[in-house]
């Protein structure tokens, strides 16, 4: 399967899920090109953006696993073409 470039946006509203989230990101470290995190303390939410280069199945699996964590939302945007 061809790799795709993707951006994944993650919103974390449950601090207890951070350890599991970081473990998932560690598991997919080979797919992650970069990561940016912004703690928005006033609103009690953290915003994480990932840049990925991976097969679409891996991106979908990561996004799905993240979204199943309590208090975590995740969405992916994909490049139009396979690279």
Q: What is the pLDDT of residues 34-56, one digit of tens each?
A: 999 999 999 999 999 999 999 99
Looking at residue 80, what is its pLDDT?
81
Name 17's Cβ contacts closer than 8 Å, sequence gap at least 6: 69, 70, 71, 72
Share of the chain above pLDDT 70, in %: 98
| Class in CATH terms, 3-78 | alpha beta
Q: What is the pTM of this model?
A: 0.91
Tell me the average pLDDT of the chain. 95
How far apart, in whole angstroms, are the C-alpha atoms of residue 56 and residue 36? 21
Mean pLDDT of 71-76: 98
Tell me what pLDDT residue 81 has. 72
């Amino acid at each position: 399967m061809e790799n795709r470039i993707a951006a994944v946006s993650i919103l974390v509203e449950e601090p207890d899920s951070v350890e599991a989230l970081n473990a998932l990101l560690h598991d997919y470290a080979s797919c992650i090109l970069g990561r940016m995190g912004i703690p928005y303390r006033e609103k009690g939410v953290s915003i994480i953006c990932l840049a990925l280069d991976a097969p679409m199945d891996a991106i979908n699996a990561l996004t799905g696993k993240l979204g199943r964590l309590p208090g975590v939302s995740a969405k992916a945007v994909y490049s139009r073409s396979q690279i």
